[in-house]
Amino acid sequence: MRIAAIATSRVPSTTANSIQVVKACHGLVQLGYEVCLYVPGERTTPWPKLASHYGLETPFSITWLRTQKIWRRYDFALKAVENARAWNAWMVYTWTPQAALMAQMRGFPVILEMHDRPTGKMGPWLFRRWLKTPGRKRLMVITQALRDLLERDYASSMNGLNIQVAPNAVDLEHYSHLPEPAAARQQLGLPEGPTAVYSGHFYAGRGIDLLLGLAKAFPQVHFLWVGGRPEDVQEWKARLSELGVGNVTLTGFIEQRRLPLYQAAGDILLMPYERQIAGSSGGNSAEICSPMKMFDYLATGRPILSSDLPVLHEVLNERNAIFCQAEDLDSWEKALQGLLNDPLRRQALGDQARNYARMHTWRNRAEQAIADLLD
């Protein structure tokens, strides 16, 4: 059965939305469906490069479609839906309300996946039009918090709508047989000794200033910052040098296939989100986010220190993580010191985290996404 996936993400890219789109498609492929992903662009990228970049095992088709800026991606949505029809796709799975509406109007069953509220001048209108257009459809959202907001804002249009709450996920196979922290550090040529790892971008709201504060407060701990755009990495390297902070290593972007080893190098994994989080596409996602790093961290089997944001409690709990007050360095210092002093608790938290990750695979998520729509 053929599923056409339509997204406006750049492929390849290091942004979270690009990685999430490709991983979601790969989950469908793992279930045995034939998938073609349509994205904007002019240059194709060979599969081996994509597989390495995103950590993919099973090939699937990606088609790049030219667009013109003047049409603000509406031309892309139309081209993608027409390509899906020419390809004889049975279903359209999309992250964009333009494509969802166009596909629904052409008779496709549609899954619209949303990570935020509709934005821009046309976003709310397009979403309402899609909701009111008859046809087989499902709305997928990444958190219950987002579902609650949408049901509040679009209550009259969402009565009877098929809604699935589907948090992000992880490729568990990449996290099997990971070495212990000391062995991982040795393989990567990192300093020996207690190590705390942060992975992800350095966008506003990710808590990088708090990470700096921790590095200053714990000179005996090595801090590994994995990820970041080249310009952000250079800026932080210069700042750390000026401040004389020598216990931080910045790696820049690490391909998905290699990322687990870097995360495994940590005795403790850090997720210091602030109360306002800027996403790769802009906006504030602190109330509704489902960070992919959270599932990576769980699968790594290491203790997690996380900001105490309500939405994160949809996945994390006191058995698989320790919560700290967001933007409160003192709270983080106490929690980090407590874990450094308690190896048994670190082990217990890590074991619980790994067990919990088994429920959150991309394959399981894909199965949940299409359940009942294929009947």
CATH number at residue 276: 3.40.50.2000
Residues 244-264 pLDDT 10s: 999 999 999 999 999 999 999
Residues 65-96 pLDDT 10s: 999 876 678 999 999 999 999 999 999 999 99
- Pair (150, 214) in one structural domain: no
Residues 20, 22: Cα–Cα separation, whole Å: 6
- Pair (102, 219) in one structural domain: no
- Pair (13, 138) in one structural domain: yes
- Pair (320, 223) in one structural domain: yes
- Pair (181, 118) in one structural domain: no
196 part of a folded domain: yes
**Letter for the amino acid at 77?**
A
Q: What is the pLDDT of the chain when averaged over all its residues? A: 96
Q: What pLDDT sits at residue 372?
A: 85
Residues 161-180 pLDDT 10s: 999 999 999 999 999 999 99
- CB count in 10 Å sphere of residue 77: 27
74 part of a folded domain: yes
Confidence check: pLDDT of 276 > 90: yes
Domain assignment of residue 128, given as a range? 2-169+361-370
- Pair (100, 113) in one structural domain: yes
- Pair (52, 86) in one structural domain: yes
247 part of a folded domain: yes
> Do residues 178 and 185 make contact, with C-beta atoms less than 8 angstroms apart?
no
306 part of a folded domain: yes
> Do residues 305 and 339 make contact, with C-beta atoms less than 8 angstroms apart?
yes
326 part of a folded domain: yes
> Do residues 255 and 53 make contact, with C-beta atoms less than 8 angstroms apart?
yes
Which tokens is 143 given? Answer: 């958190």
Q: What pLDDT sits at residue 73?
A: 84
241 part of a folded domain: yes
- Pair (165, 212) in one structural domain: no
- Pair (161, 268) in one structural domain: no
The band of 282, judged by pLDDT with boundaries at 50, 70 and 90, is: low
103 part of a folded domain: yes
Q: What pLDDT sits at residue 23?
A: 99
Q: What pLDDT sits at residue 286?
A: 94
- Number of domain units in the chain: 2
- Pair (187, 317) in one structural domain: yes
Proportion of the chain in helix, strand, coil states, percent, rounded to 5: 45, 15, 40
Confidence check: pLDDT of 129 > 70: yes
The band of 278, judged by pLDDT with boundaries at 50, 70 and 90, is: confident
What is the mean pLDDT of the segment spanning 342-350?
98
- Pair (74, 223) in one structural domain: no
375 part of a folded domain: no
- Give the residue from 304, 323, 315, 306 showing the smallest Cα distance to 356: 315
What is the mean pLDDT of the segment spanning 310-315?
98
- Angle at alpha carbon of residue 367, lines to 363 and 370, rounded to 5°: 140
Confidence check: pLDDT of 267 > 60: yes
- Pair (165, 270) in one structural domain: no
The band of 366, judged by pLDDT with boundaries at 50, 70 and 90, is: very high
